[in-house]
Chain A
Amino acid sequence: MTEASPYRLVGARPEPEFEMLVDGRPVPVVPGQTVGAALHAAGIRIWRTTRFGERRRGLFCGLGVCFDCLVTVNGEENLRACLTEARPGDEVTTS
């Protein structure tokens, strides 16, 4: 039996992936995915460190509510990774 996957579940035939650069490292993105989802899919679940306690953060609410997932995209600071759609060649920097 083949393994269950979200693609199989909805019968997806995704377009070719493009790349965004995350702290200089290429991460694949299916067109339309958010920065946060693409990071998560690539197994990167941590991309921010808090100011005081240096606690590590990634996606929490996934809806734009908690602001745990902040990233800088092409120099634009404090964007929520869970809401921001990734574009080919985007340079994402984390803190």
Chain B
Amino acid sequence: MTGHDAAYDLAVVGAGPAGLAAAGVAARAGLRVALLDAGARVGGQYFRQPPDGFHASRPGALHHGYSRFVRLRDGLGDADVLLGHRVWAVEPAAGGGFAVHCLKGGRERATTVAATRLLVATGAHDRVLPFPGWDLPGVMTAGGAQALLKGNLVVAGRRVVVAGTGPFLLPVATSLAAAGARVVGVFEAGGRFALAPRALTRPGKAVEALGYGGRLARHRVPYKGGRAVVAAHGAGELTHVTVARVDAEWRPYRRGHETVRCDTLAIGYGFTPQLDLVAQLGCEIGADAAGGPAVRVDRHMRTSVPGVYAAGETTGVGGADLAELEGAIAGRAVVADARGVPAAGDPAAVRAEVRRRRLAAFADALLRAYPVRDGWTSWLRDDTPICRCEEVPYRRVREARDLGAADARSIKLLARPGMGWCQGRICGEAVARLAGEDPGPPRRPIAQPVRLGDLADMDERTSDDDA
């Protein structure tokens, strides 16, 4: 006997634009759908909502295209929305389909959801690079600052510097400024206009970019390219940062350092897709346009593992529009596969495919326009922490390399970066780059930390199932 029936035709993990769109399409077509998310509200990163307790009369003020979110949220049909469910493992179930193991609620009780098909739409998190002082309180990720604002209506600080690379810095800066923070500067390590010529290939985005420009100007926020925050300072808490002029490889010039006073630094060097679940299932993982890991999918968003689909940032970072579109395509494919009919053919599918290609080409152009350049390693000093959890300084990583550790795995075994609580989610990419590798796919047995007791419970259940 199984402890969990295959209650659902489809389990969708992640209720961002991709997961919402997919769940809606499948549920409206009559499939039994479970939509799971770790968060307390649907929306994902882009459409992150404040709690109801705020009674916001203009909830759309912090989001571009809020009406789209309302359509997605209200279009979920009969899908079961399981919030506060952190999925920590997925595995093929004995009788076919998949077992989705979750920790539920604030007290993290273990529970399992069973489904015939699985869509992974777990999105991405900020990519960060170590630099001296990056673990001072007051230094946050740009996405974290945005999440604090959108999800809790708390402004990260009074005097804020936004820095890193990529177009995402702009909405972070403008929303912080609109919410009352004094944004003293946006420092883009790449070229400030890397975006502009590409944006012309997609008029909507160019207008958006211009819109940000206008808003930055209105709040008198300077936006400077070829500048990087190479050190953060403060006695126990952030008080100022050093901004350097950097060359095309991000190596600081000798001259042109500037000290900027701030209580908060919001930093982001692009995004890293959350691939733990697809990696657990053995889905093939390839590279995005900038060499970063992304799950391989076919035109219908099917991964290499039958019954597993992926959409949104997990397939490569491409923004909310593309995530939503991919979700809808995946939803249609799930419906077709469940019914045993071909996934393509009707004109709507062709139009979606044309649009997907255009958006994906734009996303690839952005990724190529804002890559991470190797010069960031010249910002490091001997005592700069590389791994925040295990407190591994750069010196120990170098020692490991000197001892012959030639790849990220050997460095990890010798110096222990990435062996702590976050399992290398924060430092893994930096360690890979220090080892001269492209950041690879994650190799983590679990996607969320679990208590040993819960694992033991699960073992029992699994052996019951076998009996």
Which residues in chain A, 44-90, are within 8 Å of chain B measured between CB atoms? 45-46, 50-53, 55-68, 70, 73, 76, 78-79, 82-85, 87
CB of B254 within 8 Å of the partner chain: no
Interface string of B127-144 (1 = CB under 8 A from A): 000000001111111011
Count of A-B contacts judged by CB separation below 8 Å: 161
Q: From the candidates B62, B137, B421, B426, name the one contacting A46 in the complex (CB within 8 A).
A: B137
Separation of A5 and B389 alpha carbons in the complex (Å): 34
Closest to A33 in B: B152
The answer on a CB contact under 8 Å between B148 and A37 is yes
Taking CB atoms, residues of chain A closer than 8 Å to B290 are: none
Tell me the count of chain B residues lying within 8 A, CB to CB, of chain A. Answer: 54
| Complex contact B180–A4 (CB within 8 A) | yes
Interface string of B209-224 (1 = CB under 8 A from A): 0000000000000000
**B interface secondary structure, majority:** loop
Tell yes or no: B353 within 8 A of A by CB: no
A28-40: CB near B (< 8 Å → 1, else 0) gives: 0011111001101
Q: Would A60 and B152 count as touching, CB distance under 8 A?
A: no
Kindly state the separation between the CA atoms of A53 and B237 in the bound complex, as whole angstroms. 15
A51: chain B residues at CB < 8 Å are 391
* Least CB distance, A36 to chain B, in whole angstroms: 8
In angstroms, Cα B144 to Cα A57, docked, is: 14
Contact A12 B237 (CB under 8 A): no
Give the complex CA separation of A34 and B147 in angstroms: 11
Please determine whether A6 and B155 come into contact, CB atoms closer than 8 angstroms: yes
Find out whether the CB atom of A15 lies under 8 angstroms from the CB atom of B180. Answer: no
Whether B135 lies near A15 (C-beta < 8 A) is: no
Complex contact A59–B144 (CB within 8 A): yes
- 10 of the cross-chain contacts (CB-CB < 8 Å) are A7-B54, A7-B153, A8-B180, A13-B54, A52-B391, A58-B137, A63-B45, A68-B388, A70-B421, A85-B40
